[in-house]
Structure 1
Amino acid sequence: MSEEKDQQQNYQEQPENSEQQDEFIDINEVGEEVYEDDGNNQEPPQEDEEEDEDMEINEEPQEDHETLEIDMSNNSWTYFDKHEDSIFTIFAHPKLPMVLTGGGDNLGYLWTIHSQPPKFVGTIENHKESIISGGFTNDGKFLITADMEGLIQVFKSNKSGEKWNLFGELNEVDEILFVIVHPTLPFFAFGANDGSIWVYQIDESNKSLIQIMSGFAHTLECNGAIFIPSKDENDLTLVSISEDGTVINWNCFTGATNYKLQPHDDFKGVESPWVTISNYENLIAIGGRDGQLSIINNDTGKIVSSIKTLDNVEDVAELSIEALSWCKNKNINMLAVGLVSGDILLFDTQQWRLRKNLKVDDAITKLEFIDDTPLLVGSSMNGKIYKWDARTGDELFVGVGHNMGILDFTIVDNGKKLITAGDEGVSLVFVTE
């Protein structure tokens, strides 16, 4: 990682002993209003010209010498660089201007996103492998982190987010692939490489983590899942997908399957390794490693549409659907589909016809519509983050500054800020308006 750190010359330098000074920030600093950009964003410092001149040598270049060119462009507002390895996951606190980043250095960091430079809040430790997933509960009281060795830690907020204390931990499986948190209730689920899916409740009154369900109906990796929101407090529904081509709707309180879709019976013989899932109202979209897109009516368990997204690719790996996002504007019926090929396919969700095809020059890693607007944010392994108007396909913003790919991002301040998780171990904060 030392070489990658050396490449980040365009980032502003942190003040000396900043880690000691900012180990825990003041409660008023965490809880204050989110910073409003005044339009006078600082530009990243330019390289010192005299220093560059000192580094020049007068020897003749070797004919076989290869020059490594690094793009030093950077339009980020500020950055966070305490990680010493790739940052795999990032998620924002629902009420405070604060995020958690988790990385390949087995550490998680909490830090503020409304100050320049960010203020360090605290460290999540005791993970023995890369932190790859997690989330905050909807009320912001609890934080969940998960690593590749199957350890889950749950922390409770104290002093309005100034400090986080360990609430409980789990280690049920050999490897966790993802964690999802219920959108409104204190429940979370995680899927494992053995195909199992687990649901737990954070019971604040009893100060414990209570297992609600464990399901073992998938035969290969459980690659994703979603909670289905319900107005009935006695209804806790989860839909999970697997590498084995199955889709299961679970009643979490009983462990029973409401429906199970299988390759040969329900997908007409197509055995797609499902890797992504997203829902809007009663419709669920699932994406396969083979480029297959299927839409399911969750009320009936029936498949509404099946679409082969791409044909005639040189490498079958380019077919994999890595990102799905529904536009939640009632007047814009659209689903965005992102592939390893760099294609972003925008489908009409009434007729399931392709409206537009946006294209970038490397794999798409994540897509997300901003609230209920037609504005779509997407990240890529080319190290850039984009904002488009999905109605027209117009590119509204491009964030640059990473030397390697963007593995995750989060949207805050109604889309005014985008915060990235970089493969080189740096997180950038972009102001888009």
Structure 2
Amino acid sequence: MSAQENYNISSGDKHVDEEQSNQDEFIDVNEVGEEVYHDEAQAPPPEDEDADDMDEDEDHEHETLEIDMSNNSWSYFDKHEDSVFTIFAHPKLPMVLTGGGDNAAYLWTTHSQPPKFVGEIAGHGESVISGGFTKDGKYLITADMNGLVQVFKATKGGEKWNKFGELNEVGEVLFVTVHPELNYFAFGANDGSIWVYQIDEESKQLVQVMSGFSHTLECNGAVFIPGKDENDLTLVSISEDGTVVNWNCFTGAVNYKLQPHDDFKGVESPWVTIKDHGHVIAVGGRDGQLSIINNDTGKILTSVKTLDNVEDVAELSIEALCWCRNKNINLLAVGLVSGDVLLFDTQQWRLRKNLKVDDAITKLEFIDDTPFLVGSSMNGKIYKWDARTGEESFVGVGHNMGILDFAILENGKKLATAGDEGVSLLFVTE
């Protein structure tokens, strides 16, 4: 059964078709590329129409309308009633899940225009902020800010999702990470704890594998390290307290723990982002510190202070990390609140390029093993760059608030966004 056939379901949410009269208001990809201003001061002022007949409020509304009309999206999903915090794609079907500040999580299709509503993940009583699908696409995990973690199992080829189990171990979940190969997932909490569970198909239960309490402040992120076999389950977690911990999940033992004063030479960086690549791990700090760790040995290979001389220390925070998986391109992309996208040569750890955006970077991700890098920003735009040259190959516009998350679809041909204003947009990049 094809994906198209699989989704012959009626939409639970009626979307208003875009009127033909609005078509002329929309600009194409090439026009967008020409009209991206990295410095807002360089942008031309809005046209002053009937200024004498408008008061300040009306003029402000007019300007907002003009921004809204700059939209090159292919389609949209607007069922959320508050900010969309997270979006992630099913590994095999043309479908995504979005979670928002309205305590709701929705499944919807990405191959139809407009999207078809698949269903709601009910049960959350607070903002849905994280989750993921297992590699085989059979299971879905969602988590909210009240500490509730829910797991659902697909039936009817993904048309229906039945509740498999739930957990409520902590006061607030900060993130969920799903094992890249096996049916395990981990979540970190605001009390510094890290939890690992198995989705056990035989017992039809969620089985606790590990709970770790080595961090003293918020556990902000973690990655599973692919092992040699199913007997090797390793997780590396980071914390606001400046520690990095490598766990043997099956025993709960700490393989190594990196401390600020002993291992990071007195630099106490509140770690907020982590990404692995082979046996090397990158961690990024709220203070702009970037450290590269050999995961096999726990040795710190290099540390870099990414930015200096900023007006506000909050601009230093490293919000996004992504390794290029192309074997011939040795790059690590680093995104900061300052709007800087730094491309580091991973052989010599020299800065190759700085792609400057006019607002905070929220996420970076390379498309498969290509040199093309996708990045989202609080300026409401999503970018696609050629990391070899730094050139923009696509800019998606249409949000009037920041983009908090995105998902890469169809090998980069489409992008799906999570908007702070409560709307998700679908962009065709090619």
**d(CA) in 1 for partners of 2:19 and 2:299?**
53
Decide whether aligned partners of structure 1 residues 48 and 282 sit closer, same or farther in structure 2, where only a CA change above 3 A counts: closer
- Give distance in 2, aligned partners of 1:391 and 1:230: 31
CA distance in 2, matches of 1:350, 1:420: 33
- The residue type paired with residue 111 of structure 2 is H
Measure, in 1, the Cα distance between the counterparts of 2:296 and 2:154.
37
**Contact 1:27–1:161 under 8 Å retained in 2:** no
| Counterpart among 79, 89, 94 of residue 92 in structure 1 | 89
Report how far residue 233 of structure 1 moved.
1.4
Residue in structure 1 matched with residue 217 of structure 2 by the alignment: 220
Query: Which AA in structure 2 matches 1:97?
Result: P
Deviations 1:355-407 (A, max 9, x none): 00000100000000000011000000000000000000010000000010000
Q: Of residues 384, 409, 413 in structure 2, which corresponds to 1:412?
A: 409
Question: What is the one-letter code of the residue matched to 1:139?
Answer: D
Matching residue of 1:181: 178
Shift of 1:67: 2.2
Q: What does residue range 305-344 of structure 1 map to in structure 2 within 5 Å?
A: 305-344=302-341
Taking the aligned partners of 2:152 and 2:350, their CA distance within structure 1 comes to 45
276 and 63 in structure 1: CA distance in 2 versus 1, 3 angstrom threshold = closer
Q: CA deviation at 1:317?
A: 0.3
- Aligned-partner Cα distance in 1 for 2:58–2:413: 44
Q: 1:259 aligns to what?
A: 256
1:150 CA drift (Å)? 0.2
CA distance in 2, matches of 1:422, 1:64: 25
Q: Which has the higher helix share?
A: 2
Question: 227-236 or 350-359, which moves further after superposition?
Answer: 227-236
Q: Number of residue pairs matched?
A: 393
Partner of 1:370: 367
Q: Which residue of structure 2 aligns with residue 430 of structure 1?
A: 427
Alignment check: 8 A CA contact 2:74 2:425 kept: yes
Q: Secondary structure at the match of 2:5?
A: helix
Q: Residue type matched to 2:340 in 1? A: D
Residue 43 (structure 1) shift = 8.3
Which residue of 127, 132, 154 maps to 2:129? 132
- Deviations, residues 27-72 of structure 1 (Å, cap 9, x unaligned): 863369xxxxxxxxx98754499xxxxxx99984347975241202
CA contact (8 A) 2:51 2:59 kept: no
Query: Is residue 2:206 matched to residue 1:230?
Result: no
Among 358, 361, 364, the residue aligned to 1:361: 358
Q: Alignment partner of 2:157: what SS?
A: coil
1:398 maps onto 2:395 in alignment: yes
* Cα separation, 2, equivalents of 1:321 and 1:214: 27
1:61 alignment counterpart: 54
1:241 aligns with 2:234: no
Inter-CA distance 424–300: structure 2 relative to 1 (3 Å threshold): same
Match of 2:247 among 237, 247, 250: 250
Is the 1:378–1:387 contact (alpha carbons within 8 Å) kept by the matching residues of 2?
yes
Distance (Å, rounded) in 1 between the aligned partners of 2:21 and 2:284: 43
Q: Is the 1:156–1:165 contact (alpha carbons within 8 Å) kept by the matching residues of 2? A: yes
Q: CA shift at 1:412, angstroms? A: 1.0
Percent identity over paired residues: 79
Q: How does 1:155-166 map to 2 (within 5 A)?
A: 155-166=152-163
Q: CA deviation at 1:205?
A: 1.1
Distance in 1 separating the partners of 2:54 and 2:153: 59
Instruction: Write the letter of the residue equivalent to 2:280.
Output: L
Opposite residue 6 of structure 2, the aligned amino acid is V
Could you say which residue in structure 2 is the equivalent of 1:384? 381
TM-score in terms of structure 1 length:
0.88
Root-mean-square deviation (Å): 2.0
| SS of aligned partner of 1:223 | strand
Give per-residue Cα distances to partners, 1:135-160, cap 9 Å, x unaligned.
00000000000000000110000011
Instruction: Look up the equivalent residue of 1:332 and give its one-letter code.
Output: I
Q: Distance in 2 between matches of 1:82 and 1:252?
A: 39
* TM-score, with structure 2 as normaliser: 0.88
Q: Using the TM superposition, give the Cα deviation of residue 231 of structure 1 relative to its aligned residue in structure 2, in angstroms.
A: 2.1
Q: Which amino acid aligns with 1:297?
A: N
Shift of 1:81: 0.4
**Contact between 2:193 and 2:219, CA under 8 Å: does it hold in 1?**
yes
Q: Which amino acid aligns with 1:325?
A: C
Aligned to 1:29, what secondary structure does the other structure show? helix
CA distance in 2, matches of 1:324, 1:64: 41
Matched AA of 2:370: T
Q: Which moved more, 1:280-289 or 1:56-65?
A: 56-65
Whether 1:30 and 2:23 are equivalent positions in the alignment is no
Aligned with residue 292 of structure 1, among 260, 282, 289: 289
Q: Which residue of 1 aligns with 2:119?
A: 122
Change (3 A) 1:352 1:43: farther
Runs ≥4 residues deviating over 2 A: 26-32, 42-49, 56-68
Q: Distance in 1 between matches of 2:305 and 2:280?
A: 18
Counterparts of 1:91 and 1:204 in 2: how far apart (Å)? 23
d(CA) in 2 for partners of 1:406, 1:131: 16
Q: For 1:71-96, what per-residue CA distance to the aligned partner results, in whole angstroms no more than 9, with x for missing partners?
A: 02110111100000000000000000
Contact 1:325 1:367 in 2 (8 A): yes
Does 1:197 find its partner at 2:194?
yes
